[in-house]
Amino acid sequence: MYKYDSYDQAMVDTRVEEFRDQTRRRIEGTLAEENFRPLRLQNGLYLQLHAYMLRVAVPYGTLSSAQMRMLGDIADKYDRGYGHFTTRQNIQYNWIKLDEAPDILADLAKVEMHAIQTSGNCIRNISSDQYAGAAKDELIDPRPYAELLRQWSSFHPEFLHLPRKFKIAVIASKTDRAAMRLHDIGIEIVKNDAGEIGCAFYVGGGMGRTPMIAPLINPFVPLDQLITYSEACLRVYNRYGRRDNKYKARIKILVHEMGKDEYTRQVEEEFAHLLTQGIEPPIAELERIIPYFADPAFDAAASDDLDLSDPDFAVWVKNNTVAHKAKGYVIAVVSLKPVGGIPGDASADQIRLMADLAKDYSFDELRVTHAQNIVFPHVRKSDLYTLWQKLDAADLSTANLDGIGDIIACPGLDYCSLANARSIPVAQKISERFAGKQEELGELKLKISGCINACGHHHAGHIGILGVDRKGVENYQLLLGGSEGADTSLGTITGPGFSEDGIVDAVEKATNVYLANKEGEERFLDTYRRIGMAPFKEAIYG
Amino acid sequence: MKILTGNDLKSGAVIWWDGQGWSLHVDDAVDASEHADEILAREEAARHVNSSYVVDATQTPEGVRPNHIKERIRALGPTVRPDLTLKPADPSAINWVI
């Protein structure tokens, strides 16, 4: 894992003290809310439905045990004993007191964490593949490049006041596990025909009220020009992105309205200019970063044997583990979606337990996924049963990864001041209704957003649900056919919306159509794509 | 009726204007139709409340009830965590919210 150098630490420490002073002035009355608001937002502090909410950055979703332990301690010390892992690989606390916020940031700084740029019209936390450095199918570990982007984008003076927020994802495998093409910039590390490693740039994707899949604008940018090309993409956006209408201010609108070809032409022109300016970080900086992401000391003699005689363990292994690049090891995923639970929530005790287990069984490392789960990236197969037993004892062994119970849901109207409808109760009801059908339904990604901002990624769900406000009453639209992987697609609305109970019934009708029509090993999404919307509509509304 | 709400500056807690000061309980809220702007300006300036605004509500036999579900959820707490609401011992309290 990356370790702060003295510059990183000094920047974060200085920021804490700066915010402490700003907070003091706000409480004393020498700083008005209109002046304080942008300052607190730049430090991740929102005012939400019930209290202040703090969003903490987890760069590319990677955490050490010490960092995870601190997140648990903060939940106890400053919040109400739990945290909420988000669809941006971050964590949020819902019950923060303003006068304690600087102390939280100081505690985070002790473990090389912060909340900087988790809000505002700037480059947000860089996201990545949660299996980076462990996946069997990756070209290289994308995290050193995500870290380089993190350093470049942190406090970048030119990009702190963009037309709108800006999200970048970096992956290095064909199996896109980071919804890369639904980001403002999606970077896929690829190998060209000459065997050289470089970056494919996809620009102008996003969800929200105008969902778009990012088009490919450059199939191969040499790795040693990654930052320069990113800067060119941002410069053209910063120059022409709309600032007159926040709903048309994201880069996806610019790329769409300007046209991919013209946007690309301007980026290439800017890129050519920037190449003459020498803005790419020195190679020595990348060489300093890369060793931090070196493989841990895997035991070459580790056995691939796994005793699956415990049937519950066997189901968990089948559903919640992923092939590892090292022989004798496996990637284990903890679902934060117990039946009837709140997606992404974990108690302080659970967070600390996962920190301890990562220390004992996963080389001190964890990952947060955009699907609101936690990953132990490097587990020796011989330790897997012990790990599972300890997770099971803490209600962390739900075996539903990528199944209908593994629901992505935004906080919705239970917590969020932007939401129009509650997301969590719908997720809970669906989770309970389908608890016994996980195995029968197989992979079925269901995603729920409580408003059009789409933090719950409903556009990209095999089944998506969007909560809307219909004359003060919650109403839920159903979408089918979305996907966020290598086969990214946007869901289509089935028709008129439903009540809270009605949407659960509608989901069941849709799954019944799938089960009646599936051929062979087809997933829900495959069947939908083959037979189309009509049979689903007929079953749901007929 | 028009009632006034906002958040406590330090704690962020949802609060309601009760005619004399600010209460955590929406049932204490009073109709402030006539002087809303004046009260909010004064209370904001004194930092007794943050991000304040006016809410439409109805006086019912059970108490003051904001008309919109968002404000009713603010008044009680998250419907999915009855233990974190203002009435943790009464899970049925969420019935008037939704």
What's the alpha-carbon Rg for chain A, to the nearest Å?
23
Nearest chain B Cα to A45, which residue? Answer: B12
Rounded Cα gap, residues A434 and A507, in angstroms: 10
**Are A415 and B9 a contacting pair at CB < 8 A?**
no
Helix or strand (DSSP H, E) at A200:
strand A197-203
Amino acid A203: pLDDT: 98
Q: Which of A433, A402, A410 is nearest to A525 (CA)?
A: A402
Percentage with pLDDT > 90 across chain A: 99
Helix axes A348-361, A65-77, angle to 10 degrees: 170
Q: Would you list the domain boundaries of chain B? A: 2-70
Distance between the two ends of chain A, CA-based, in angstroms?
54
- Classify residue A187 as left (phi > 0), alpha (psi -120 to 50) or beta: beta
Q: Say yes or no: ipTM exceeds 0.90.
A: yes
B91 pLDDT tier (thresholds 50, 70, 90): confident
Q: Which of A526, A450, A541, A536 is nearest to A87 (CA)?
A: A450
Q: Which of A257, A202, A265, A66 is nearest to A484 (CA)?
A: A202
Domains of chain A, CATH where assigned:
6-110 (3.90.480.20), 134-290 (3.30.413.10), 311-393 (3.30.70.3340), 408-541 (3.30.413.10)
Amino acid A485: pLDDT: 85
Q: Name the DSSP class of A247.
A: G
Residues 5-24 of B with CB under 8 A from A: 7, 9-14
Count the residues in chain A. 542
- Classify residue A493 as left (phi > 0), alpha (psi -120 to 50) or beta: beta
Q: Which residues pair with A47 in a beta bridge?
A: A52
Mean pLDDT of B8-35: 96
Residue pLDDT, tens place only, A249-279 = 999 999 999 999 999 999 999 999 999 999 9
Shortest CA gap B80–chain A (Å): 7
C-alpha torsion A174→A179→A180→A185, nearest 10: 170
Residue pLDDT, tens place only, A488-539 = 999 999 999 999 999 999 999 999 999 999 999 999 999 999 999 999 999 9
A486 pLDDT tier (thresholds 50, 70, 90): confident
**Are A414 and B50 a contacting pair at CB < 8 A?**
no
Amino acid B92: pLDDT: 84
Rounded Cα gap, residues A530 and A516, in angstroms: 13
A-B contacts at Cβ under 8 angstroms: 67
DSSP class per residue in chain B: -EEEEEE-TTT--EEEE-SSSEES-GGG----TTTHHHHHHHHHHTTS-EEEEEEEEEEETTEEEESSHHHHHHHH--TT-GGGSS-TT-GGGGGGT-
Quick check: B24 pLDDT over 90?
Answer: yes
Quick check: A360 pLDDT over 90?
Answer: yes
Rounded Cα gap, residues A252 and A236, in angstroms: 12
**Are B67 and A472 a contacting pair at CB < 8 A?**
yes
Residue pLDDT, tens place only, A219-246 = 999 999 999 999 999 999 999 999 999 9
Q: Are A236 and A273 in contact (CB under 8 A)?
A: no
Residue A96 in 3-state DSSP?
strand
- Write the CA distances from A84 to A59, A326, A411, integer angstroms: 16, 31, 9
Q: Are A352 and A310 in contact (CB under 8 A)?
A: no
B98 pLDDT tier (thresholds 50, 70, 90): confident
Interface test with B, best of A26, A41, A50 (most B CBs within 10 A): A50
Quick check: A31 pLDDT over 90?
Answer: yes
A414 vs B13, B50, B79: nearest CB: B79
Q: Residue A28 contacts by C-beta under 8 Å, 6 or more apart in sequence? A: none
Nearest chain A Cα to B77, which residue? Answer: A50
Mean pLDDT of A286-292: 96
Whole-prediction pTM = 0.97
Q: Which of A434, A410, A438 is nearest to A424 (CA)?
A: A410
Residue pLDDT, tens place only, A364-408 = 999 999 999 999 999 999 999 999 999 999 999 999 999 999 999
B84 vs A80, A424, A428: nearest CB: A80
User: Is A140 in the B-facing interface, judged by CB distances under 8 Å?
Assistant: no
B10 vs A49, A97, A472: nearest CB: A97
Strands, E, within A306-396: which ranges? 321-323, 329-334, 345-347, 365-368, 374-380
Rounded Cα gap, residues A167 and A47, in angstroms: 22
**Are B67 and A33 a contacting pair at CB < 8 A?**
no
**Are B14 and A50 a contacting pair at CB < 8 A?**
yes
Amino acid A475: pLDDT: 98
Residue pLDDT, tens place only, A142-163 = 999 999 999 999 999 999 999 9
**Are B80 and A428 a contacting pair at CB < 8 A?**
yes
The 10 Å CB-count burial string (b at 16+, else e) for A323-332 is ebbbebbbbb
Rounded Cα gap, residues A138 and A281, in angstroms: 25
Mean pLDDT of A354-361: 98
B chain contacts of residue A473, beta-carbon cutoff 8 Å: 69
Amino acid B96: pLDDT: 87
Amino acid A390: pLDDT: 98
Nearest chain B Cα to A54, which residue? Answer: B12
B47 vs A29, A50, A97: nearest CB: A29
Q: Residue A222 contacts by C-beta under 8 Å, 6 or more apart in sequence? A: A196, A198, A199
**Are B12 and A26 a contacting pair at CB < 8 A?**
no
Percentage with pLDDT > 70 across chain A: 100
Q: Are A188 and A205 in contact (CB under 8 A)?
A: no
Residue pLDDT, tens place only, A166-199 = 999 999 999 999 999 999 999 999 999 999 999 9
A chain contacts of residue B84, beta-carbon cutoff 8 Å: 80, 95
User: Is B87 in the A-facing interface, judged by CB distances under 8 Å?
Assistant: no
Residue pLDDT, tens place only, A414-445 = 999 999 999 999 999 999 999 999 999 999 99
Residue located via tokens 């987890």: A58
Amino acid B70: pLDDT: 96
Quick check: B30 pLDDT over 90?
Answer: yes
B78 vs A50, A98, A472: nearest CB: A50
Quick check: B95 pLDDT over 90?
Answer: no
Q: Which of A404, A407, A429 is nearest to A512 (CA)?
A: A404
Q: Residue A72 contacts by C-beta under 8 Å, 6 or more apart in sequence? A: A83, A348, A349, A350, A351, A352, A355
A chain contacts of residue B67, beta-carbon cutoff 8 Å: 472
Which pair of structure tokens corresponds to residue A35? Answer: 């002046």
User: Is A424 in the B-facing interface, judged by CB distances under 8 Å?
Assistant: yes
Instruction: State phi, psi for B44 to the nearest 5 degrees.
Output: -65, -45
Residue located via tokens 């969020």: A416
Shortest CA gap B51–chain A (Å): 8
